[in-house]
A and B are shown apart, each in its own frame.
Chain A
Amino acid sequence: MTAGTKIKAKDRDAVIQSLRAGVVPRSGQHLIQVGRAQELDALIKDIDRIGDGGSAIRFVIGEYGSGKTFFLALVRAIALQKKLVTVHADLTPDRRLHASKGQARSLYAELMRNLSTRAKPDGGALSSVVEKFVSSALAEARSRQATPEVIIRERLDHLSEMVGGYDFAEIIAAYWRGHDTGDDVLKSNAVRWLRGEFSTKTDAKKALGVRIIVDDANFYDQLKLFAQFVRLAGYEGFVICLDELVNLYKLANTQARKSNYEQILRILNDSLQGTADGLGFVLGGTPEFLMDTRKGLYSYEALQSRLAENTFAGDGIVDFSHPVIRLASLSQEDLYVLLTKIRHVFFTGNVDAYLISDVEVQGFMQHCFQRVGEAYFRTPRNTITAFINLLAVLEQNPGVSVENLIGKVTIETEQNPDLLPFEQEEDDTPVSDPTLADPGETEADDDLASFKL
């Protein structure tokens, strides 16, 4: 652990604030990364392969709260450093891989909104990518004494063999026209089309003269086209990160779920057979999403056979070339290292400013264990939030002793905020307030809170 490294205030704030809110920080992940070295290596190899023109697909499987999202964010950061373009989105009941009411298109739109490059790691980089392509075409046109339009068509020529490629080229050409004539409206319409924001064909026809739009049926083909496009624009490759795949598992409609799994199969086949060049998929899900033979990926016969575990692996023997990567839960030691790293970041890398000693950190962990048992290190999200709150109080209240504060630490349980009561009952039934300290709850409440079928 490099105790002396300087930590930028910007990184420090990004990390601490995100962790406090229970989300993964957008930058500075390397500061708090713990363990998982081999898994990371495997992903890095994948990224290199994508850079060389190959394809890759990985299912990152880990328990709820085990750090999957963090891992995905780390992978994205590495890909950006290596000059790939990344897009990412979380699946929700409203955003799926296959739909007929626009939920797939809304996934596409979210992906494109989050498009990032090394220069713009926070998303919204779509227009810069298109701009880059057009400028490089311009440069080539000047050197070869040809019109840029011809160069553009040449470059996009082999795209026209792919599904929807011809119209895609039209859109880029429209962008160029707008760029050339100074027609900003045309330019922004072209970008909107690429972002999937046109919902009817008539609108698209009016604005851009093309008769197709990105919709539920063709969004995957659009993604493949875009992967080719970014390479033509000079980037190394295209990585798509999809998280919260458990939302497919939770779909109530059997048919919808099957169609989504079929789509995953299609993606898997394209990757493994190498028909999607320069495109990588990283998908995050829970173990039961993968392995439940009645509702998970394994319920779909073709997926089960392709994703079945290597029979030689297990019990310490690992195989990281398999599409499925299992993230083991953090161990207590890992969590300890993580907390010390967080402490390091919190105090901006200044060891002397630490307000909590190693022993006290261990005391904190002990207290959490008494509160919620093993969950505190297996699903560390809430533990981390509590820890940062503790540090914040320590920082702002110099006189307070650490032991006192540790005694008052509570770990919240996960609740869907939409389902919380929306008005206080005036009669005697107590509303279960999750931030209340322990003694108020009755045993029966505990039974419901920790209900197991």
Chain B
Amino acid sequence: MTTLPPSSSNGGQQASSGFQRLHPGVQKWIWQQKWPALRPIQEDAIPPILVGQQDVIISAATAGGKTEAAFLPIFSRLKDATRAGIGTLCISPLKALINDQFRRLSAIGEQLDIAVTPWHGDIDAGRKKRLLKQPSGILIITPESLEALFVNHGPDMTAFFQGLNYLVIDELHAFIGSERGKQLQSLMHRVEQVIRRKVPRIGLSATIGDMGLAAEFLRPGRADQVNLVISEEEGQEIQLQVRGYRKVEPDLEKGLNLGSEVETEQTGDSEDEIDIAAHLFRVLRTETNLIFINSRSAVEAYTDRLRRLSEQQRVPNEFFPHHGSLSKDLREEAEQTLKGDQPANVICTTTLEMGIDVGAVKSIAQVGAPFSVSSTRQRLGRSGRQAGDPAIVRFYISEPEVTPTTPQPDTLHPALVQTIAIVNLMVFKRWCEPPIVTKLHLSTLIQQVLSLIAQYGGVNASQLYQVLCQTGAFRQVTQEMFIKLLRQLGAKDLVQQTHDGVLILGLKGERLVNHYSFYTAFQTPDEYRIVTRGNMLGTLPITSPLFEGMYLIFAGRRWKVLAVDAERKVVDVTRAAAGRVPRFSGDAGFIHDKIRQEMYRIYRADDAPTFLDKTAVDLLREGRENFCRLALDNRCWAKNGKHTLLFCWMGSQVVNTICLLLRTQGLDVGMEGIAILVRDISPERLLEKLEVLVESGPADAVELAAIVEDKVGEKHDCFLSEELLCWNYASSFLDSQGAWDTLKRLTESNN
């Protein structure tokens, strides 16, 4: 049992000053924990939080003491506060995290006689009702449940929150840039609006390089006034490995080979897939892990292989699939097993990670290259949550064997290099994708408009604009745009107007608001169905722009897009001229410029990262050799038969824009992984066309967006008019200035 030295003791030990300022009840609890001292981050956080005039961000690695740093002073303040109503509102992204948080905080709360209440979809109604009647203490809630409170109990919200001292956001980094994050920003503002005063906001965040991003998210427009408390301590240990595999063509028949028995029923399995499955089986069994794969069909395939391996080894199956096309029962089965005590390994698509609402797993495995640093970091954060546990992640990257007929982009082994780039940025540079500040988030704005109307029973147009856009979260939306949006909502019967000008919900709007799914701002994107001549080929998640006449890679073949039905999510295609098709289509998601730039740097360097296994090191060497062979260190293009490949080394926004620009020049294009394939043109002619584009200056992104067929992506985008969709799409997916700068750079360096 140690005692903390009093602040008046000799010398410079001011370390306990924070402790002294806490309420005696809190001090007693700390003593009982037998901590030798408060951690530096806790000392630093206590004064600004106790004063309660500033917003604060506390940044530390997992299990770095963030929760205590925030809540010890919060509990102190609550002990002294006398106002009725909820004292502290804490918003957290996952139910499992809320349950964890509740367990830790209620222990302190019980001793101090301060109520701590969790609130999400799994909490029983009786408990919620009791809190509504007698609100007090700390409330831990998801953004969706908070939205539901506003919609269903609007008139009570002022009394409910009138005594609010603090607004805490847990896992702040997980919200930045997403639709859900936008919804959260709007909700934070609405809480302050309903009690008509600012409340100090406290963000708990993982360590990301640029904390300014987090500050701007927490308090838009006032980021410079946010107090940043950053931990210098070492984070959790990360054990990371990138394993390389060579994919040999499936014409060589190899079935699963396990000792004596040779099964050849699945002749489609290539050797690399077999090897990956075998390794997964070996290292992941008997523990609880998550395995992420990029497409639903691959999830099914691997689940199948792992199950058969279990059968053959006569061990119980621990592998369960989880993706959007599965029935609810099967998905729930997977989630239940994860929560249980038995070892469980869930194989899921990368898009469904928010749906896996469970806490800690032992390790993460990813098959196929990741495309975003923040989502990879989030996945990493799922592993090893107990103090002292390392975070373990394994990447399984499969690259085609290089033969004379291998398509050129594949010879660079881009999947591997992309993975290395992301690991470098995530672990060594602590970088994180910045949110796209120009993004309009019109889908979430629609949700907030309907929610605000439901909260107050009816609101007039100018006050809607004031609360949501002028002072609220949607500051990029102009008045003109907002008026058009309202008219569109009226046309779709989401809102209607009373004779005194007040906007109320229309019948369709009511149905939408009354449905339980309304409170969620995001949706997992549906995959598009690819059909040709009436036959369905399969499904594909599409994140790049689709337009008529573009080239698409699917099932190892190249197709030309004939028509796109955005409502039914169907793409009609026809076989394009033959030619080898690269395996790495890179179509799994939205890539930031920096990742491509890092890839370029890696190609030009010659060191091999320590986290690669032998095969991966070999593949990297090969890739670099081919990079030089194609002379890509000097040029941005490569001749491909009659066509030309253009290498921009920029992210999705720029590449999408350039594709559309080339289309306006009458060229046939398709995105092929890290390069753009421009058909029927020589490199010289292509450069000429690029120069023409440079001369005409940066294009109008909204006009370009008109070419794109699949602009409906987010949940409420289906209600937008074509004009609004163009604005919305352009603001999120296109970067006209960046594209022009890139083209300028490419044409200059080649002349």
State whether the Cβ of B505 lies closer than 8 Å to any Cβ in chain A: yes
A422→B460 contact, CB < 8 A? no
Interface residues in A382-430 (C-beta closer than 8 Å to B): 414-416, 418-423, 425, 427, 429
What would be 22 A-B contacts, judged by CB atoms less than 8 Å apart?
A63-B500, A93-B457, A252-B151, A252-B505, A252-B514, A286-B499, A295-B507, A416-B460, A416-B463, A418-B194, A421-B470, A422-B192, A422-B196, A423-B197, A425-B471, A431-B466, A444-B480, A445-B462, A450-B501, A451-B460, A452-B497, A453-B486
Contact with A along B185-197 (1 / 0, CB 8 A): 0000000111011
State whether the Cβ of A164 lies closer than 8 Å to any Cβ in chain B: no
A294→B483 contact, CB < 8 A? no
A287→B457 contact, CB < 8 A? no
Distance between A284 CB and nearest chain B CB, rounded to angstroms: 14
Contact with B along A248-273 (1 / 0, CB 8 A): 01111110000000000000000000
A94's closest neighbor in chain B, by CB? B155
9 interchain residue pairs of minimum CB distance:
A451-B461, A453-B490, A448-B462, A64-B500, A252-B454, A422-B196, A250-B457, A419-B463, A444-B479
Contact of B457 among A247, A422, A425, A445 (CB under 8 A): A247
- A162: chain B residues at CB < 8 Å are none
Contact with A along B120-146 (1 / 0, CB 8 A): 000000000000000000000000000
B514→A421 contact, CB < 8 A? no
In this complex, the interface size class of chain B, counting residues with CB under 8 Å from chain A, is 35 or more
B479→A252 contact, CB < 8 A? no
Contact of A448 among B461, B487, B510 (CB under 8 A): B461
A422→B461 contact, CB < 8 A? no
B459→A416 contact, CB < 8 A? yes
Q: A94-B155, A422-B196 are in contact. Are A429 and B470 (CB under 8 A)?
A: yes
CA distance A250 to B193 in the complex (A): 21
Distance between A290 CB and nearest chain B CB, rounded to angstroms: 12
- A420: chain B residues at CB < 8 Å are 463, 466
State whether the Cβ of B259 lies closer than 8 Å to any Cβ in chain A: no
A432→B192 contact, CB < 8 A? no
Q: A250-B457, A432-B466, A451-B462 are in contact. Are A414 and B499 (CB under 8 A)?
A: no
CA distance A252 to B158 in the complex (A): 19
A427's closest neighbor in chain B, by CB? B221
- B194: chain A residues at CB < 8 Å are 418
CA distance A432 to B454 in the complex (A): 24
| A residues at B contact (CB < 8 Å) | 63-65, 92-94, 246-247, 249-254, 286-288, 294-295, 379, 414-416, 418-423, 425, 427, 429, 431-432, 444-445, 447-453
Q: A432-B462, A448-B465, A451-B501 are in contact. Are A252 and B470 (CB under 8 A)?
A: no
17 additional A-B residue pairs with CB within 8 Å, beyond A287-B499, A416-B463, A450-B501: A63-B500, A64-B500, A250-B457, A252-B453, A252-B510, A252-B514, A253-B514, A295-B504, A414-B500, A416-B456, A416-B460, A421-B466, A422-B196, A423-B198, A451-B462, A453-B497, A453-B503
State whether the Cβ of B346 lies closer than 8 Å to any Cβ in chain A: no
A92, A414, A416 — most chain B CB neighbours (10 Å):
A416
B499→A419 contact, CB < 8 A? no
- A379: chain B residues at CB < 8 Å are 500
Q: A421-B471, A448-B479 are in contact. Are A93 and B154 (CB under 8 A)?
A: yes
- A254: chain B residues at CB < 8 Å are 510-511, 514
A288→B196 contact, CB < 8 A? no
- B504: chain A residues at CB < 8 Å are 249-250, 295
B472's closest neighbor in chain A, by CB? A421
- A431: chain B residues at CB < 8 Å are 466, 470
A252→B513 contact, CB < 8 A? yes
State whether the Cβ of B458 lies closer than 8 Å to any Cβ in chain A: yes
State whether the Cβ of B467 lies closer than 8 Å to any Cβ in chain A: yes
A294→B507 contact, CB < 8 A? yes
State whether the Cβ of B496 lies closer than 8 Å to any Cβ in chain A: yes
CA distance A288 to B490 in the complex (A): 17
B457→A252 contact, CB < 8 A? yes
- B440: chain A residues at CB < 8 Å are none
CA distance A92 to B482 in the complex (A): 29
Distance between A296 CB and nearest chain B CB, rounded to angstroms: 10
- B466: chain A residues at CB < 8 Å are 419-421, 431-432
CA distance A117 to B56 in the complex (A): 59
- A92: chain B residues at CB < 8 Å are 155
- A453: chain B residues at CB < 8 Å are 486-487, 490, 495-497, 503
- B456: chain A residues at CB < 8 Å are 93, 416, 418-419
- B325: chain A residues at CB < 8 Å are none
A254's closest neighbor in chain B, by CB? B510
State whether the Cβ of B498 lies closer than 8 Å to any Cβ in chain A: yes
B198's closest neighbor in chain A, by CB? A423
- A419: chain B residues at CB < 8 Å are 193, 456, 459, 463, 466-467
- A63: chain B residues at CB < 8 Å are 499-500
- B463: chain A residues at CB < 8 Å are 415-416, 419-420
B194, B196, B454, B486 — most chain A CB neighbours (10 Å):
B196
A252, A425, A444 — most chain B CB neighbours (10 Å):
A252
- A286: chain B residues at CB < 8 Å are 498-500
- A427: chain B residues at CB < 8 Å are 221
- A425: chain B residues at CB < 8 Å are 470-471
A63, A251, A287, A453 — most chain B CB neighbours (10 Å):
A453
B509's closest neighbor in chain A, by CB? A252
Contact of B483 among A253, A414, A448 (CB under 8 A): A448
Distance between A163 CB and nearest chain B CB, rounded to angstroms: 28
B193→A422 contact, CB < 8 A? yes
B496→A251 contact, CB < 8 A? no
CA distance A26 to B258 in the complex (A): 93
CA distance A427 to B514 in the complex (A): 38
Contact of B501 among A93, A249, A253, A452 (CB under 8 A): A452
- A94: chain B residues at CB < 8 Å are 155
